[in-house]
Structure 1
Amino acid sequence: MTTLSTRGLTRSFGGVVAVSDVSVAFLDGKVNGLIGPNGSGKTTFFNLVTGMIRPDSGRVLIDSTDVTRWSPHRIAHAGLGRTFQLCRVFPRMSVLENMLVAVRRTRLRELLGGVAGRADVLRAREWLARVGLDHLERAEARDLSFGQQKLLELAAALMAEPALVLLDEPAGGVNPALTERIADLVRELNVREGRTFLVVEHNMELVMSLCDHIVVFDRGSPIAAGTPSEVRSDQRVLEAYLGV
């Protein structure tokens, strides 16, 4: 398992503090939620802990290792996988090719020339079957629906067998049936395989039903943390969301 924590993490953009002195730890082996109003710093926090952007100060720790200055590629190999708020797939590549690129052991030129390890292909097909896309492996990613692209991105993130998976708004723009399919897969991977999840999501019904532990951001800083019932009744959370 992989534990993620931060110490004094801070990042500003043009004088606007997006993430401010954040020291937080997420529970190993659980489904963690990260919620907050729009503009509260959630996606910036994701980008900081995955190496997409560098902090102005503070540290990111995986277990006890400081990975603050590591590249996204190196952090991914340390056991972190992620999806994005807006799907990032290779639109002109097939569904199967998108899966194989995710493991990053095959050079793109070789992949396009049909050279890929049989073990990787078999594993890619297994993941596609688990998310219900195995019948579309030859289709170009651009021909998938938005929801199917979300499933493809999740499956590709899981190809590297990450111990910790960060999901950025997995239910955004997705119909209720597909949202529930994603939730069921997260529960299965968590309970049966022990994977840790950190989920940023605006769908409060999904967060409250899916997550074991929730951290609430407001104006770039955590204001509350606890179980869904604890967070739901926290006055600071009510003020941040409802102004009451």
Structure 2
Amino acid sequence: MGKGGIVAISRPPEVEYDGVILKVEDVWKRFGGLQALRGVTLEVQRGEVLGVIGPNGAGKTTLFNVMTGFLPPDRGRVLVFGRDVTGKRPHLLSRLGVARTFQITKPFEGLSVLENVLVGLLFSGRVSSRVRRGLSDLKEEAVRILEMVGLREKRYQPGHSLTVVERKRLELARALAVNPQILLLDEVMAGLSPAEVEWELGMLRQVKEDRGLTIVMIEHVMKAIMNFSDRVAVLHHGEKIAEGTPKEIASDPRVIEAYLGDQNVVS
């Protein structure tokens, strides 16, 4: 039994291993006349942060949707812990330990901030029926998660009353409620001030360390993604045009031409 009485359903033995825990192989996706993804291949190692960047319309969110079961690929495979999960429904991937955030945050209407997180704890499929009956234990866990993301003092407020920044933090809290091993973040820094970006980065580093997370992160705030990522992949017109360390990406002529321009992105 973990903190606050949370009991995770055991994963099969084959998923408990190090190395590549998320893999995208030659993924293609078309919407009518638009080829959104063109043979994208990515590997994510346990415990690393992979940044995914590119211009608007490059295919980043489509890639996330394919990786998390919200869209089936036209071709290619997605593997989680070595299992082929291509086209599997999002709730099945959640049970394997995959969670994500969305660009457009939508708190559950009529629920408090605390209740929004409780929903994730109750319906993640990773809490035993015995613990489900212990609502006080679940509330303690939800409060702990809200404290991580800086929303503890807002826990009794309606979710819809939060600011844009606070809604992004609630979105992250709901993702953490399913106790993921792999967390996909879709533009969690968008619209934040420089001071808010610094706070978010510090919080994410702490959450990653505390929970042993592997993170894949789409972001347009370049200083944030370059300082937080171990590796960065660059998409352009649905293709992966480069992949490497932040310093390698910042000096890659293809990336500079397609996306970065003269930005000073590595400090």
**Same fold judged by TM-score > 0.5?**
yes
Residue 23 of structure 2 contacts residue 78 of structure 2 at CA under 8 Å; is this kept in 1?
yes
1:3 is paired with a residue whose SS is strand
2-structure distance, mates of 1:212, 1:191: 14
Give the 4+ runs in structure 1 shifted more than 3 A: 104-107
Q: Which residue of 2 aligns with 1:142?
A: 160
1:167 is paired with a residue whose SS is strand
Q: Which amino acid aligns with 1:156?
A: R
Residue 170 of structure 1 contacts residue 179 of structure 1 at CA under 8 Å; is this kept in 2?
no
Q: Which residue of 1 aligns with 2:139?
A: 121
Q: 1:196 aligns with which of 194, 214, 218?
A: 214
Kindly indicate whether structure 1 or structure 2 has the higher relative contact order, using CA contacts under 8 Å at least 6 residues apart.
1
RMSD (CA atoms): 1.9
Q: TM-score, normalised by structure 1?
A: 0.91
1:22 is paired with a residue whose SS is strand
Q: 1:22 aligns with which of 40, 61, 66?
A: 40
Q: Superposition pairs for residues 14-53 of structure 1, below 5 Å?
A: 14-53=32-71
2-structure distance, mates of 1:18, 1:122: 43
Deviation at 1:116, TM superposition (A): 6.3
1:77 aligns with 2:132: no
1:154 aligns with 2:172: yes
Q: Which amino acid aligns with 2:91?
A: H
Deviation at 1:44, TM superposition (A): 0.3
1:63 aligns with 2:81: yes
Q: Which runs of 5+ in 1 are unaligned?
A: 108-114
Q: 2:111 aligns with which of 93, 102, 112?
A: 93
Cα-to-partner distance string for 1:12-58 (whole Å, 9 max, x where unaligned): 00121101111211232111100011110000000000001111111
Q: Which residue of 1 aligns with 2:204?
A: 186
Deviation at 1:105, TM superposition (A): 3.2
Q: Which residue of 2 aligns with 1:163?
A: 181
Q: Which amino acid aligns with 1:44?
A: T
Q: Which runs of 5+ in 2 are unaligned?
A: 1-17, 126-132, 263-267
Deviation at 1:7, TM superposition (A): 1.0
Residue 21 of structure 2 contacts residue 46 of structure 2 at CA under 8 Å; is this kept in 1?
yes
